[in-house]
Amino acid sequence: MDSQPTLPVPISYISGRYLLFSIDAVTYLRREHNICGVLIGTLPQIPQQNVFLGLPLELMPEEARVLVDRDVACIVDEAKAHDGMKSLLEEDRRQYLRELESQGLHASRILSDRKDQQREQALKKLGEKVKAKAAKAADNASASSAQKDESSSVVDIFDDGSNSASRSANMTPESKLAMAITPATSYPPLPQPTSSSRILSKPEVPLSYPLFAHLHSQGYFLSPGLRFGCQYVAYPGDPLRFHSHFLVVSAEWDQNIDLMDIINGGRLGTGVKKGFLLGGPEKTREDVDSEAERVESVRAFSIEWAGM
Contact 303, 262 (CB under 8 A): yes
**Residues ≥6 apart with Cβ < 8 Å to 152:** none
Annotation marks residue 220 as catalytic: no
Q: Out of 143, 199, 268, 300, point to the residue binding other proteins (CB under 8 A).
A: 300
Contact 72, 236 (CB under 8 A): no
Q: Out of 39, 143, 268, 288, point to the residue binding other proteins (CB under 8 A).
A: 39
Quick check: 56 binds other proteins (CB under 8 A)? Answer: yes
Residues 253-292 that bind other proteins (CB under 8 A): 253-260, 262-263, 266, 269-270, 273-275, 277-280, 282
Annotation marks residue 235 as catalytic: yes
- The type of residue at 125 is K
Annotation marks residue 273 as catalytic: no
Quick check: 38 binds other proteins (CB under 8 A)? Answer: yes
Distance between CA atoms of residues 49 and 165, nearest Å: 32
- Select which of 106, 124, 148, 243 is catalytic: 243
Cβ-based neighbour number of residue 290 at 10 Å: 10
- CA 95, chain centre distance (Å): 29
Cβ-based neighbour number of residue 133 at 10 Å: 15
- The answer to whether the Cα torsion of 249, 252, 253, 255 is positive or negative is negative
Contact 298, 284 (CB under 8 A): no
Quick check: 307 binds other proteins (CB under 8 A)? Answer: yes
Residues 73-102 that bind other proteins (CB under 8 A): 78-79, 81-82, 85-90, 93, 96-97, 100
Residues 130-149 that bind other proteins (CB under 8 A): none
Residues 148-207 that bind other proteins (CB under 8 A): 150, 153-154, 157, 160-161, 164, 167, 174, 177-186, 189, 206
When the beta carbons of 213 and 223 are compared against other proteins, the nearer one is: 223
Which positions are annotated as active-site residues?
235, 243, 274
